[in-house]
A and B are shown apart, each in its own frame.
Chain A
Amino acid sequence: MDVTEVLLPGVGLRYEFTNHRGDRVGVVARRTGDFELVVYEGPDPDEGRSVLQFNSEEADAVAEILGAPRIAERFADLTKEVPGLVSGQVEVGVGSAFDGRPLGDTRARTRTGASIVAVVRGEEVIASPTPQEVLRGGDILVVIGTHGGITGVEQIIRG
């Protein structure tokens, strides 16, 4: 898929692409952080119909919703490409020893060799969490490593 980038001097950027159904779609990214979704469908090929407007916060939320499955997908692709590497999901139980403690406290990578590459918290995805990221009950940890490593992380988190 080709995404064309058009500079709008003084305003921001516009991205354009044609989706698989042949619809021409434009995304106006303004310098203020606002976004506008545009569809070109009328008889005039130069005129866009503004479909949706997002402020920066809403745009972040939409990006996360649209991006979340793709993160998992990419991990799945990655593990397919590298033999012996698998991804797994480990849930932090409510009342677990690590509920409310920073990720670094698990010392998961040192002890098992497996990496925690993302924390999924409800609809939010914390990609590449730092050791300071405080875990909460109900968090899903996305772990990449060997089978044994992932089992090891599971045991650490379960306590």
Chain B
Amino acid sequence: METPVALLLELGVILAALSILGTLARRFTLSPIPLYLLTGLAIGEGGIAPVPAAGEFVGTGAAIGVILLLLVLGLEFSLAEFAVGMRRHVPSALVDAVLNAAPGAVAGWLLGLDGIGMLALAGATYISSSGIVARLLSDLHRLGNRETPAILSVLVLEDLAMALYLPVLAVLASGGVWWQAILGVLAAVGAVLVAFAVSYRWGHHLGRLLSHPDAEQLLLRVLGLTLIVAALAELVHASAAVGAFLVGLTLTGETAARTRAVLSPLRDLFAAVFFLAIGLSVAPADLLPVLPAALALAAVTVVTKVLAGRYAASRDGVGPRGQWRAGTALVARGEFSLVIVGLVGTMHSRLGPLVTAYVFILAIAGPLLTRLAGALPFRTVPLTDAPGGTPPTNNEGPGR
């Protein structure tokens, strides 16, 4: 076997660079995702330091990264937590969906995209990054706060919406006439429901089949099954990512917890490669023309997400400051918007750069805004308008 020196060296340098950037981002309690995207831009075609040898690996790694991201998301999902979210926050989820998907759809229409493009952009503006937000709440020590359950409930319901939305989008994006699309959509929704039923009724059997006291065995079995299901899903034009998500949904309890622990480091590595690949797939020159649109969309999203978050928190009886914290916490975008664009990216040349720029802006602005909201001065007398107590969204534009 010949050692591919160029590949090893390039990959090593890239990973080391990601590590340094990630550490920097974490120091300021920011998400490293924008920096990973930037790195991807820098090493892509037309970037400052192209890496021809590592390109192919990054492509393969990105595919695995999406599968791992969605598998772990499916593992996170528990029906009990979903039920708790449902009980209190269905109105919040509806407000969230309507307020945030609409700007994307309208923007898509204004930009002259077709139906699928509008649907994809609506999804990208609708869904917050549960990964970034959960990590952010933990980093800012806000897990004990009163507004946190409302935020997390909204995120869980968004994840559920994604479970139904992603297969639908995948089927529609794969083309076909209207009745094929409807059949495909029904099949996709059916698959999600079947996965739920399987996890509810036979989850423990599947768990027993896959579970093994040895971590290595567990990893091989779960990963093997997931990749097979993902490949089959891709074969019937339902997206590999969706297949992986369904596998994650069906695993529950102890097996899910152990799998999560074993897979998480692997997920983090390949997710980083995925963000890198998204950056790679976009030419820096394509970003400039879409920048105004991305900025405008980001500004609208900040307002609509803050409204949705404030509404959710107010349903839990949280005070004004907590409502601002909740609203701003939901602003962050990340993996999902990029997964969505990955599903339809090849058909819409403008969508990729637009969503990449949009995620870039909000992945930075979201954590910053919610940190600022946490520093809001407390007004002891609610009726007097204290200076500096004005809402943060109007002054702290999203474009920074």
Contacts and interface: CB of A to CB of B under 8 A. Distances in A.
Interface in A32-77: 36, 38, 40, 42-50
Interface stretch (B145-153, B177-185, B300-308): B145-153
A7 B81 contact: yes
Given A36-B141, A38-B144, A48-B144, A11 B152 contact: yes
Contact of A10 (B130, B146, B147, B319): B130
Given A14-B143, A30-B143, A46 B81 contact: no
Most buried by A among B80, B84, B145, B147: B145
A6 B147 contact: no
Contacts of B84: 7, 9
Nearest to B73: A10
A30 B137 CA distance: 13
Interface SS majority for chain A? strand
Interface string B28-55: 0000000000000000000000000000
A54 to B, nearest CB: 13
B143 A36 contact: yes
Interface string B67-92: 00000000010001110110000000
Contact of A7 (B149, B325, B378, B380): B149
B124 to A, nearest CB: 21
A24 to B, nearest CB: 10
B155 A43 contact: no
A36 B257 CA distance: 20
A10 B145 contact: no
B321 interface: yes
A72 to B, nearest CB: 32
B148 A8 contact: yes
B351 interface: no
Contact of B156 (A9, A42, A43): A9
B144 A9 contact: no
Interface string A14-40: 100000000000101011000010101
Instruction: Give 7 closest A-B pairs by Cβ, nearest first.
Output: A38-B144, A48-B144, A46-B146, A50-B141, A46-B322, A9-B81, A9-B156
Interface of B: 76, 80-82, 84-85, 130, 134, 137-138, 141-149, 152-153, 155-156, 257, 318-319, 321-322, 325, 374, 378, 380
Interface of A: 6-12, 14, 26, 28, 30-31, 36, 38, 40, 42-50
